[in-house]
Structure 1
Amino acid sequence: MENLKSFDELTFLDNFMFQCVLRNQRLCKHLIEKILGISVKELHYQEFEKTINLGLASKGIRLDVYVKDDQGRVYDIEMQCSQVPYNGLAKRTRFYQSMIDMEQLEKGEKYENLNASYIIFICTFDPFGRNLPMYTFTHCCEEENTIKLNDGETRLFLNSKGSENAQDPEIAAFLRYVDGKAAEGEFVRSLDQEVQFVKSLEKVRREYMILSDEIRRRQEEAAAEAMAKGIQQERESNILGMLQEKIPMETISRITKASIAQIREIGKLHGVL
Structure 2
Amino acid sequence: MDSYLKELKLKDDFLFAEVMSDKEICKELLEKILEIEIEKVEMVEEQKTIDLLLESKGIRLDVYVKDENNTIYNVEMQRAKHKNLPKRLRYYQGNIDLDLISKGEDYRKLSKSYIIFICTFDLFNKGRHKYTFQNMCLEDNSIMLNDEAQKIILNSKGIMNDLSDELLEFLAYVEDSTDDKVKHAKGNLVKNIHRRVKEVKSDISVEVEFMTLLERDREKIEEGREEGILLTKKVLKLSNSGCTISQIAKECNISEEEVRRILG
Same fold (TM over 0.5): yes
1:1-273 alignment runs, 5 A limit? 6-85=4-83, 88-162=84-158, 164-180=160-176, 182-183=181-182, 184=185, 185-240=187-242
Residue deviations 1:112-156, cap 9 Å, x none?
221100000001011111111100001111121111111100000
How far has the Cα of 1:238 moved from its partner?
2.5
Measure the CA separation in 2 of the matches of 1:211 and 1:167.
Answer: 35
Structure 2 unaligned blocks of 5 or more: 245-250, 253-264
Letter in 2 for 1:100: I
SS in structure 2 at match of 1:49: coil
Preserved contact between residue 64 and residue 79 of structure 1 (Cα < 8 Å): yes
Residue pair 2:47, 2:63 contacting (<8 A) in 1 also: yes
Question: Which amino acid letter does the alignment assign opposite residue 139 of structure 2?
Answer: E
Note the aligned Cα RMSD (angstroms).
2.0
**Shift in alpha-carbon separation, 1:67–1:163, aligned structure 2, 3 A:** farther
For residues 6-27 of structure 1, give each alpha carbon's deviation from its aligned partner in whole angstroms, at most 9, with x where no partner exists.
2221111111101000001111
Secondary structure of the corresponding residue to residue 166 of structure 2: helix
Deviation at 1:180, TM superposition (A): 2.6
Q: Structure 1 residues 167 and 207 mapped into 2: Cα distance closer, same or farther (>3 Å)?
A: closer
The CA deviation at 1:163 is 5.5
- Greater Rg, structure 1 or structure 2? 1
Whole-angstrom CA distance in 2 between matches of 1:8 and 1:116:
37
Displacement of 1:164 in angstroms is 4.1
How far apart in 1 are the matches of 2:199 and 2:147?
40
Amino acid at match of 1:224: E
Give the partner amino acid of 1:36. Answer: L
Partner residue, 1:248 = none
What do residues 31-65 of structure 1 show as CA deviations (whole Å, max 9, x unaligned)? Answer: 00110111111111122211111111222111111
Please give the secondary structure, in 2, of the residue aligned with 1:48. Answer: coil
Is the deviation greater in 116-125 or in 231-240? 231-240
**Which segment drifts farther, 114-123 or 51-60?**
51-60
Counterparts of 1:16 and 1:93 in 2: how far apart (Å)? Answer: 20
Q: Is the 8 A contact 2:127 2:160 kept in 1?
A: no
- The count of corresponding residues between Structure 1 and Structure 2 is 238
Kept after mapping to 1: 8 A contact 2:74/2:115: yes
**Greater alpha carbon shift after TM alignment, 168-177 vs 17-26:** 168-177
Contact between 1:161 and 1:179, CA under 8 Å: does it hold in 2? Answer: no
In structure 2, the residue corresponding to 1:102 is in which secondary structure? helix
Following the alignment from structure 1 to structure 2, what is the Cα–Cα distance between the partners of residues 71 and 106?
20
Query: In the alignment, is the contact (CA less than 8 A) between 2:41 and 2:66 conserved in 1?
Result: yes
Q: Which aligned runs of 4 or more in structure 1 are off by greater than 4 angstroms?
A: none
SS state at 1:240 partner: coil
